[in-house]
Structure 1
Amino acid sequence: MTASDLGRLARAALLVPFPGPTAPRWVLDHLERGLGGVTLFAINGNVPGNTALAALTAELRKAGDPVITIDEEGGDVTRLAHTTGSPYPGNAALGAVDDPELTRRVHRSLGAELAGVGVNLNFAPSVDVNTADDNPVIGTRAFGSDPVLVARHAAAATAGLQEAGVAACAKHFPGHGATREDSHLSVPIVDADLELLDRRELVPFRAAIEAGVKAVMTAHLNVPAITDGQPATLSHAAITGLLRGRLGHDGVVVTDALDMRGASGEIGIPEAAVRALNAGADLLCLGSQEYEDSVRAILDAIVAAVRSGRLAEERLAEAAERTERLKAWLAPGGAGTVDAAVGMEAARRAVRLSGELPEAGSPLVIELHAPGNIAVGPVPWGLGPWLPAADLVRVDGDPVDPADLLERANGRPLVLVVRDAHRDAGQRELVSTLLAGRSDAVVVEMGLPVWRPESAGFIATYGAAYANGRAAAELLGLAGE
């Protein structure tokens, strides 16, 4: 094999990021020489708006035949709507409704939006079974904690996206729902044997595979029973043995971002890339900041591994062949239609009210902002879009005097908005103090409703997307239907 041929095979395994709303020359050069594709990031300025994004993806296609990927789950994790919040509720809300046809419609519409701007592989759905309430990275991104429920929605979401001509990617294999650590920051351990995995984590992956999912994303999780003490992304037993052999997935295997500490924190990204390919991965998502110099170092490491015999040339060729099969499926283009109403329909069906709402009047709304996670990013949320500025108080972590807040609410209804309060002791303490002075207050939980305080009314939205916020605002009389 010539150096040019080997370089082309190595490039075919990479999904590279880049800064800005237009493709740099180095990206176009790599595309002309066989680059597998790109990953678009809102934080990189790749998603300035739908018109500009469509122009960007068209520019990329002129240079090559790329897989163009994005992390668009809907709900709390959105890139297309990163400046406003998603018009689609996320998985927790869809799981609360538990209507697989609705889940299919939501994802078909979301897929149509992606196809319309030229994205052809979506890093969704998340099919993790969220069994740990204090999970710092999944939470509302999961359909729920029941493997069978998650499985039926995993299949429905997969079908919806792929009916729109966009490849779905079930994640995070073998399942991130039982963790209490974030793999962006460390290597979480899932203490489960194969029998437990079979009846819990793997159930939704089987359903997605049976539904024809085109790709599966690996997680940087140490599952000692199957991964031999290393992250699943780097484990031959996890990818080739379990995912391909036991579960029968013959589509593309994509890694979660290799810049995450769970994958490369101890060994570096070039070495992680080689190990992931050896384990059976086909496409390597590099992360958001791995630009030209990093890409060159990764390519050099892959080529050197082949020449030294550490990485079989056949393994690299197999990965490229799977990606080519994916591209052949993508070739006809999108076939879906955006359903502008389905997002609000789903959010309204998901919202839950218990207790009593405040009497008619202009409420004071106090929003307690908990820190988000890296996957969600800085996306706006809350009831602000439906309130005058004078009716909204945001508590962002600085010390506040509950007596001052209660004084501001004197003579008017009081609404307290939280997000995953079960994970934030400060939120719970402040809410409890305010409720001691205003037992008639209403609490709106825009994360998972694990903690339920003694309030007059309690609204659970199962997510903090724009659609979830509007559904809560409608209940409170702040927004007309």
Structure 2
Amino acid sequence: MIQVIADQLTLEEKIAQLFILGFQGTSYNETLAQYNDLNIGGVLMFANNIGGSEEVKTLNETIQSNAQSIPMFIAVDQEGGRVNRLPSNIPNIESAYQIGLSGSTDHAYQSGAFIGKNLKRLGFNVDFAPSLDIWSNPGNKVIGDRSFGQTSQDVIRYGLPFNKGINEQQIITSAKHFPGHGDTFVDSHDTLPVSNLTLEQLQKKELMPFKAAIAQNIDMIMVSHILFPDIDATHPSSLSPKMIQSLLQKQMKYNGIVITDDLAMGAIKNSYSREAALTQALNAGETMLLIGSDIGDIKSQIQYLKVQVETGKIDRKIIEENVQKILKLKHKYGIV
């Protein structure tokens, strides 16, 4: 079935499937209609896209009913605590750190299940959670209480049951921010953080929660925009073949979907053109390309990537394999 669907797609449509894009507004509009027409892989909703519960539910149903041949991933960042996207009539849960302080893995699971049930009811199918970062730097306000703890053991102990709670409600989860954002000072929304942790240090600490999530077959991993000079002195993690292909996919044996953090963030847009970032991300091993804001002309970006494929600057095999992964995951969760 997956191959039949893939064979019916044009190269442009295959490339379009690799994108998850943001939009403006709380109702179906021309932008979303264009995404549907282009066969874009998914959309991401922020707080400013979310009105009341019925409004959100109607919006999500309309997006899917207008899909051309392949329904979308409809994603949201719903972690609880200060990262809350649920409509105001739905109670928020406490932060991940507070969940960890409870000392109860069942509470962690039930907190995730609460999120999963509400997202499912509203028509979402992807949650960019859990944050498996370790709050190892007390001065880090970007992650801070979004982390389940200050040790890898605590993040694993509470983060994985939380993830299971969401996932068992048939919501796809995405562990983030690989290989770990908890030891940085600056915010990658604004500028590129640099971490001087060595690969050996990462393997002993930051990577442990991701290894545990991979062992439990997590469907998606989001890669951060952080420079780790010990591993790759040139590219941030999200654009680094050494970080994605060599470390995550080969050494850690992860075969699921790898998605960029938002490519509109300052850490990327301050140093790379959109076209360069898209090309580098795909060549580095990313499966999907996330752009939350400042989308630009998406049609021209798809055409640009098509030319890159046709001229051999991006191997066509990358596009084909990525689309297969995306369609398999959509099929697994009954989206297609």
TM-score higher than 0.5 here?
Answer: yes
Q: Find the partner of 1:78 among 81, 84, 108.
A: 84
- In the alignment, the residues of structure 1 paired with residue 197 and residue 297 of structure 2 have an alpha-carbon distance, to the nearest angstrom, of 35
1:316 aligns with 2:319: yes
Q: For each residue in 1:117-175, what CA deviation from the matched residue of structure 2 results, as whole angstroms up to 9, or x when unmatched?
A: 01101010000011111113100100111111111222212211110110111000010
Of 139, 142, 153, the residue aligned with 1:137 is: 142
Check whether the contact 1:218–1:253 (CA below 8 A) recurs between aligned residues: yes
Secondary structure of residue in 2 paired with 1:226: coil
AA aligned opposite 2:86: L
1:416-453 Cα shifts (integer Å, max 9, x gaps): xxxxxxxxxxxxxxxxxxxxxxxxxxxxxxxxxxxxxx
Aligned twin of 1:305: 308
Query: Which residue number corresponds to residue 4 of structure 2?
Result: none
State the Cα distance separating 1:35 from its structure 2 match: 1.4
Q: Distance in 2 between matches of 1:171 and 1:286?
A: 16
Distance in 1 (CA, whole Å) between partners of 2:328 and 2:232 is 28
What are the Cα deviations for residues 178-208 of structure 1, in whole angstroms up to 9, with x where unaligned?
0001111111111111111011100110111
Structure 1 runs, 4 residues or longer, greater than 3 Å off = 83-86
Equivalent residues of 2:23, 2:292 under 8 A apart = no
Q: For 2:202 and 2:55, locate their aligned partners in 1 and report how far apart those are by CA, in whole Å.
A: 43
Answer whether contact 1:258 1:264 (CA < 8 A) is retained.
Answer: yes
CA distance in 2, matches of 1:131, 1:12: 36
Partner Cα separation in structure 1 for residue 131 and residue 56 of structure 2: 24
Single out whichever of 103-112 and 24-33 deviates more from structure 2. Answer: 24-33
**2:23 pairs with 1:18:** yes
Match of 1:38 in 2: 43
Q: What does residue range 173-212 of structure 1 map to in structure 2 within 5 Å? A: 173-212=178-217
Of the three residues 41, 50, 66, the one matched with 1:47 is: 50
Classify the secondary structure of the residue corresponding to 2:75.
strand
CA contact (8 A) 2:178 2:224 kept: yes
2-side partners of 1:226 and 1:86: how far apart? 42
Superposed displacement of residue 95, structure 1: 1.1
Tell me the secondary structure at the aligned position of residue 301 of structure 2.
Answer: helix
The match for 2:3 is: none
Alignment map for 1:60-99 (pairs within 5 Å): 60-64=63-67, 65-81=71-87, 87-99=92-104
Q: Is the 8 A contact 1:152 1:204 kept in 2?
A: no
SS of equivalent to 1:189: coil
- What is the CA distance between 1:27 and its match in structure 2? 2.6
- SS of corresponding position for 1:69: strand
Structure 2 counterpart of 1:6, from 1, 6, 11: 11
SS of the equivalent of 2:163 reads: helix
Distance 1:158 1:169, change over 3 A: same
Q: 2:128 corresponds to which residue?
A: 123
Partner of 2:283: 278
Residue 48 of structure 1 aligns to a residue in which SS? coil
- 1:217 aligned to 2:222? yes
Query: What's 1:327 paired with?
Result: 330
* Corresponding residue for residue 110 of structure 1: 115
2-structure distance, mates of 1:134, 1:243: 27
Structure 2 unaligned blocks of 5 or more: 1-6
Structure 1 CA distance for aligned equivalents of residues 241 and 91 of structure 2: 37
Q: Is 1:58 matched with 2:61?
A: yes
* Inter-partner Cα distance in structure 2 for 1:96 and 1:108: 18
Structure 2 counterpart of 1:418: none
Q: Distance in 2 between matches of 1:152 and 1:274?
A: 37
Q: For 1:70 and 1:19, locate their aligned partners in 2 and report how far apart those are by CA, in whole Å.
A: 14
Please name the residue that 1:415 is paired with: none
Counterpart residue number, 1:372: none
Q: CA deviation at 1:248?
A: 1.8
Partners of 2:130 and 2:173 within 8 A in 1: yes
Which ranges in structure 1 are unaligned for 5 or more consecutive residues? Answer: 334-481
**Distance across 2 between alignment mates of 1:189 and 1:120:** 33
CA offsets, 1:325-370, max 9 Å, x none?
A: 110122179xxxxxxxxxxxxxxxxxxxxxxxxxxxxxxxxxxxxx
Q: What secondary structure sits across from 1:225 in the alignment?
A: coil
Deviations 1:391-435 (A, max 9, x none): xxxxxxxxxxxxxxxxxxxxxxxxxxxxxxxxxxxxxxxxxxxxx
Find the aligned partners of 2:322 and 2:302 in 1 and give their Cα distance: 15
Question: TM-score, length-normalised on structure 2?
Answer: 0.92
Q: What is the Cα deviation at residue 31 of structure 1? A: 2.2
Corresponding letter in the other structure for 1:11: A
8 Å Cα contact 2:222-2:259 kept in structure 1: yes
Q: 2:53–2:89: 8 Å Cα contact kept in structure 1?
A: no
Do the aligned residues in 2 keep the contact of 1:183 with 1:221 (CA within 8 Å)? Answer: yes
Partner of 1:474: none
Larger Rg: 1
Within the candidate set 236, 239, 245, 1:231 is matched to 236
User: Shift in Å at residue 85 of structure 1?
Assistant: 9.1
* CA root-mean-square deviation: 2.0
Choose which of 251, 266, 269 in structure 2 pairs with 1:264: 269
Shift of the 209–237 alpha-carbon distance from structure 1 to 2, 3 Å rule, reads same
Identity %: 29
Q: Which has the higher mean CA deviation after the structures are superposed, 265-274 or 315-324?
A: 265-274
Q: How many Å apart are 1:23 and its aligned residue?
A: 2.4
Cα pair 2:42 2:73 within 8 Å, conserved: yes
